[in-house]
């Protein structure tokens, strides 16, 4: 059996780290076994779905490298859902209900006051044809519920192992709204069944949907796929949701995070594997195994993402960085990249170091003008390379007796305007003799 999985976001907002984790795990699951990965947009809710969100989802997935082999949209498939509705009605598994939201709310409150679970009481199932006709004459439109069979619902979950529900402990789900729109619970099963999805991997907030969907698959004549429910992500602020800002992929991209920093983190949190940087998705595939994911909530921590980002940049070879440095407007060569890449939080910060080397710097208020003056006379002649800093500082020690921080910090400040940064032995040749001399002189003139 060839593996076929899907990622099914609703285009009602931007992708955030929680749903990208689901996409990534599906992508890795498919690629690990030579299977296929489908992107399906769950856009039956025409009021909340927006084309601009759909476009953004596609763009963000491409940016992360999570490219799909097949693409579907639920809004193209209303005919198939209508046919499924007909089939379920004919077999007696779908029934018309006339309760208003207020009536259902009151019933639930009464159940709660008697200590009963909020399970739909199937009152509409007992309506006579005459009663239904009366409701219709009043202008009430029916919504439709699926009649669950009172039998155990069980599956072996890829993440949670054995899961069991009793059919009688779950409400008959509404599958078609009063305005005729099929709900996700039905549409998703029709799509997964029709296209032959073999594994449904999604967040654990869908466990109770799975319980009813297993029976819907069967009622429509499909063999249910295998299921895996990933534990949800948790941040320091609490559970992750679309409402918490800053965790959407757009914001992370704008903040300068590398796609592989995001992928590396999301593929490993909540697993028994260490969190470390992976240079590409192929490297991630090697250690991927869905059985490593645990049931406990996974901690998503932005500082861990930053750490991975810095490590990826510190190991990024020049050919990978070159086109992006050009895009930043820098005529940077390999020597520049090698000098600065260990000091970057984001790749865009390379421009800050470029400006330190080639632009104007703020001349620091160095009290020790005499020292800088003496050092300026000891600058070795060009050509300079990475040994020049050592030649210069040894001469300075001989002349002034200074060593360590007392020796180098005033020089770093004078030459870069900063008290931190890449190694001076790498920066000095990039600054060059003329500019170095000028910057030293600026400190005491
Ligand atoms: N559209 C659903 C969601 O975003 C899909 C759930 C599923 O994977 O079945 O939660």
Is 10 a pocket residue for ligand 1 (Cβ < 6 Å)?
Answer: yes
pLDDT confidence of residue 46: 87
Q: DSSP assignment, residue 333?
A: -
Distance of CA 231 from the midpoint of ligand 1 (Å): 14
Distance of CA 226 from the midpoint of ligand 1 (Å): 15
Is 160 a pocket residue for ligand 1 (Cβ < 6 Å)?
Answer: no
Task: Tell me the sheet residues that pair with 39.
Answer: 7, 71
Is 202 a pocket residue for ligand 1 (Cβ < 6 Å)?
Answer: yes
Backbone phi and psi for residue 36, each to the nearest 5 degrees, phi listed first? -120, 155
pLDDT confidence of residue 239: 65
> Which atom of ligand 1 is nearest the CA belonging to 8?
5
Distance CA 222, CA 87 (A): 13
Distance of CA 214 from the midpoint of ligand 1 (Å): 15
Q: 79-176: which CATH topology?
A: 3.90.800
The answer to whether the beta carbons of residues 264 and 277 sit under 8 Å apart is yes
CATH 3.40.50.620 fits 1-73+231-308, yes or no: yes
Distance of CA 107 from the midpoint of ligand 1 (Å): 29
> Which atom of ligand 1 is nearest the CA belonging to 200?
8
Domain ranges, ordered by start, for the chain: 1-73+231-308, 79-176, 318-358, 369-442
Is 8 a pocket residue for ligand 1 (Cβ < 6 Å)?
Answer: yes
Question: What is the torsional sign of CA 284, 285, 289, 293?
Answer: positive
Distance of CA 10 from the midpoint of ligand 1 (Å): 7
Report how far apart the first and last C-alpha atoms of the chain are (Å, whole number): 79
Q: Which residue has the CA at smallest separation from atom 3 of ligand 1?
A: 9
Q: Which residue has the CA at smallest separation from atom 10 of ligand 1?
A: 9
CATH 1.10.10.350 fits 369-442, yes or no: yes
Give the distance from CA 24 to its chain's centroid. 8
Residue-by-residue pLDDT tens, the chain, 445 positions = 799 999 999 999 999 999 999 999 999 999 999 999 999 999 998 899 999 999 999 999 999 999 999 999 999 999 999 999 999 999 999 999 999 999 999 999 999 999 999 999 999 999 999 999 999 999 999 999 999 999 999 999 999 999 999 888 899 999 999 999 999 999 999 999 999 999 999 999 999 999 999 999 999 999 999 999 999 998 877 766 544 567 899 999 999 999 999 999 999 999 999 999 999 999 999 999 999 999 998 999 999 999 999 999 999 999 999 999 999 999 999 999 999 999 999 999 999 999 999 999 988 886 689 999 999 999 999 999 999 999 999 999 999 999 999 999 999 999 999 999 999 999 999 999 999 999 999 998 7
Backbone phi and psi for residue 58, each to the nearest 5 degrees, phi listed first? -65, -45
pTM: 0.92
Distance of CA 176 from the midpoint of ligand 1 (Å): 17
Give, in degrees to the nearest 5, the angle at Cα 386 between 382 and 390. 85
């Amino acid at each position: 059996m060839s593996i076929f999985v899907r990622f099914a976001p609703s285009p009602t907002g931007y992708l955030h780290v929680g749903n990208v984790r689901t996409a990534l795990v599906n992508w890795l699951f498919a690629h690990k076994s030579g299977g296929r990965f489908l992107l399906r947009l769950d856009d039956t809710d025409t009021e909340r779905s927006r084309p601009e969100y759909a476009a953004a989802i596609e763009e963000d997935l491409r940016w992360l490298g999570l490219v799909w082999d097949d693409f579907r949209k639920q809004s193209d498939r209303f005919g198939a859902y209508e046919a499924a509705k007909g089939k379920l009605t004919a077999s007696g598994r779908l029934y018309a209900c006339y309760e208003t939201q207020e009536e259902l709310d009151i019933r639930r409150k009464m159940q709660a006051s008697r200590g009963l679970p909020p399970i739909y009481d199937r009152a509409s199932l007992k309506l006579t044809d005459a009663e239904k006709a009366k409701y219709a004459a009043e202008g009430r439109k029916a919504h439709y519920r699926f009649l669950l069979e009172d039998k155990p619902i069980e599956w072996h979950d890829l993440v949670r192992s054995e899961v069991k529900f009793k059919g009688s402990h779950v409400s008959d789900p509404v599958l078609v709204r009063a305005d005729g729109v099929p709900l996700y619970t039905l549409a998703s099963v029709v799509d997964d069944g029709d296209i032959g999805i073999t594994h449904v991997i999604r967040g654990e907030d869908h466990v109770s949907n799975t319980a009813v969907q297993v029976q819907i698959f069967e009622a429509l004549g499909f063999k249910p796929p295998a299921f895996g429910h990933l534990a949800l992500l948790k941040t320091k602020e609490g559970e992750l949701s679309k409402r918490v800002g800053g965790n959407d992929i757009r914001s992370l991209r704008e903040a300068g995070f590398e796609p592989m920093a995001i992928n590396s983190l999301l593929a490993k949190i909540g697993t028994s594997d260490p969190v470390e940087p992976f240079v590409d998705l192929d490297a991630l595939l090697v250690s991927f195994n869905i059985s490593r994911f645990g049931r406990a909530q996974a901690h998503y921590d932005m500082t861990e993402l930053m750490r991975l980002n810095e490590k990826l940049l510190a190991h990024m070879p020049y050919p990978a960085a070159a086109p992006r440095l050009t895009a930043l407007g820098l005529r940077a060569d390999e020597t520049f990249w090698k000098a600065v890449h260990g000091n970057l939080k984001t790749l865009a910060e390379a421009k800050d170091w470029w400006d330190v080397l080639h632009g104007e710097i703020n001349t620091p208020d160095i009290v020790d003008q005499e020292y800088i003056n003496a050092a300026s006379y000891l600058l070795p002649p060009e050509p300079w390379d990475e040994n020049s800093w050592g030649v210069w500082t040894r001469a300075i020690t001989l002349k002034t007796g200074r060593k360590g921080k007392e020796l180098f910090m005033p020089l770093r400040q004078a030459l870069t305007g900063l008290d931190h940064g890449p190694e001076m032995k790498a920066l000095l040749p990039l600054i060059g003799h003329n500019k170095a001399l000028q910057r030293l002189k600026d400190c005491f003139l």
